[in-house]
Amino acid sequence: MKAVIISGSERRFGITSAVSQRTSSLLKTYGVETIIVHLNEIDLSPCNGCGNGNSDCNYRTEPCEKNDGLPAIIDLMIKAHIIIYATPVHAFGVCHLMQIFLERAGVGYLRFERPLANKIGGCVVIGRKYHLGHAHDQIVNNMLLNRMIVPGAGFPVLIHGDENIKDIKDIEEEVALEQMVNRLVNIHDSIDFQKLSQNWENERKLKMIKENIK
């Protein structure tokens, strides 16, 4: 089994990085081969006004043309069985690297074929105090949009990181992370993926078909 952790912090050695490492170690105890993608190490540019008129980003019919580090991450995710998003909270939402990643990956690549369908997804949010749940909701909505399977595992993994130790301080938060990793692996092991459909009709196409019938 393979897992990818998308670690969104701008700080390479901050709390998100430490928690991603801890998550990777937990996955390895289940024999899961794990890669951490540190977005701060990737050449990742934001969406901008490429294209014009009807051919601009949200209306393109082909994947994004930008030649940066993103396509390689998409490939890693497609090859993985488990995908975990780890993000700090910045300004009451996900940090800007994670926001760029979600926008570019979603609009630029994933919306065409939904290649992450049936991947098992988890989310870890790191913040000082405010609106961690808001960032969690945003990531979960993105996983659900991509038709991923997001298992409940107890309390959401919302980590009020300790800047002195640059790690988790609260035992309940530690338990939440351990439970989430356990559930991700267990759910993956229990699903008969042959029985799950991989042929998703794109929702935009379905909308067009319905519009044409009317």
Ligand X SMILES: Cc1cc2nc3c(=O)[nH]c(=O)nc-3n(C[C@H](O)[C@H](O)[C@H](O)COP(=O)(O)O)c2cc1C
Question: Does residue 12 touch ligand X according to CB under 6 A?
Answer: no
- C-beta of 101 vs 109, nearer to ligand X: 101
Half-sphere exposure of 159 (CA within 13 A, CB side): 32
CB of 210 to ligand X, least distance (A): 40
The candidate with the shortest Cα–Cα distance to 76, out of 33, 27, 47, is: 33
Residue 11 — φ and ψ, nearest 5°?
A: -90, 120
Q: Which of 4, 6, 16, 77 binds ligand X (CB under 6 A)?
A: 16
Provide the minimum distance between the beta carbon of 6 and ligand X in the complex, in angstroms, as a whole number. Answer: 13
Q: Minimum Å distance from CB 87 to ligand X?
A: 8
For ligand X, the closer of residues 108 and 161 by Cβ is 161
Does the protein bind ligand X through residue 127 (CB under 6 A)?
yes
| Rounded CA separation 42/73 (Å) | 9
- Residue 183 contacts residue 177 (beta carbons within 8 Å): no
91 vs 196 by CB, closer to ligand X? 91
Region near ligand X per CB under 6 A, out of 8-16, 51-59, 150-158, 201-209: 8-16
CB–CB of 83/115 below 8 Å? no
User: 167: which strand partners?
Assistant: 162
Which strand (E) or helix (H) includes residue 41? Answer: none
Q: Measured at CB, which residue is nearest to ligand X?
A: 14
**In the complex, minimum distance from the CB of residue 173 to ligand X, in angstroms, rounded to a whole number:** 13
Q: Tell me the C-alpha to C-alpha distance, in Å, between residue 144 and each of 11, 26, 45, 179.
A: 28, 24, 24, 20
Instruction: Assign 3-state DSSP to the chain and report helix, strand, coil percentages, each to 5.
Output: 45, 20, 35
206 binds ligand X (CB under 6 A): no
Residues 150-169 that bind ligand X (CB under 6 A): 161
For ligand X, the binding residues in 78-97 under the rule CB under 6 A are 88-92
Between residue 53 and residue 72, which ones bind ligand X under the rule CB under 6 A? none
Q: State the residues that interact with ligand X by CB under 6 A.
A: 9, 11, 14-17, 88-92, 126-131, 161
